[in-house]
Amino acid sequence: MHKEIIGVILAGGRSTRMAGEDKGLTQLGDKALYQHVLARLAPQVGNLIISANRNQQRYRESGLPVVSDLTADFPGPLAGILAGLHYAHTEWIVCAPCDVPDLPHNLVAQLWQHKGTALAAYASDGERPHPTLALLHTSLLDNLTDYLANGERKLMLFMEAIEAQQVIFNNQQQAFRNLNTPEDCQQWLQEKGAIDG
């Protein structure tokens, strides 16, 4: 557990593929989708905050602070990351989207261990990058503010611009699976039922 790191759950998106429903609040078994992510991330960090722009009262029921984007035009996950960097009172934050319920139990430890001298590190499953699962130093606040002010929105390009370290999680492809649609959620539940049963 890294007490000096704050976890930021990114739940501020538009959830267009969830038929307009707030993705993080989609019921998945006995709890909301974001709560599965919360359960995975909480043991790995000192504190947590939720980045959300809708249904903030429902997210506050978790007992965690809920922060809004600093900009009003939904510029994707970078806006949530920016809010996390802005509100964090630690040197480091680690971000995770609200739709990856099986994220690695060793996410933070691996990112921390392999970041080297970089001010940011992000996960890869060995086949593709997952830059929303990332560790960032809060000194990057100005870099990201400028990046967004210039109209840029691509998270991966930002990671490249700040020379973030890619950290490969071998043989963990399933851990990075994100649930984008109601069908994805249904399939995940069926698989978990088969495993648990």
3-state secondary structure the chain: CEEEEEEEEECCCCCHHHCCCCHHHCEECCEEHHHHHHHHHHHHEEEEEEECCCCHHHHHCCCCCEECCCCCCCCCHHHHHHHHHHHCCCCEEEEEECCCCCCCCCHHHHHHHHCCCCCEEEEECCCCEEEEEEEEEHHHHHHHHHHHHCCCCCHHHHHHHCCCEEEECCCCHHHHCCCCCHHHHHHHHHHHHHHHC
Summarize pLDDT for 141-158 with one digit per residue, the tens: 999 999 998 988 899 999
Q: How many domains, the chain?
A: 1
User: What is the structure's pLDDT at 197?
Assistant: 37
Confidence tier at 20 by pLDDT (50, 70, 90): low
Summarize pLDDT for 77-97 with one digit per residue, the tens: 999 999 999 999 999 999 999
Where is average pLDDT lowest: 44-48, 61-65, 164-168, 188-192?
Answer: 188-192
Domain containing 30 equals 2-196
Confidence tier at 14 by pLDDT (50, 70, 90): low
Where is average pLDDT lowest: 30-39, 111-120, 162-171, 181-190?
Answer: 181-190
List the CATH number of the domain containing 129. Answer: 3.90.550.10
Summarize pLDDT for 109-126 with one digit per residue, the tens: 999 999 999 999 999 999
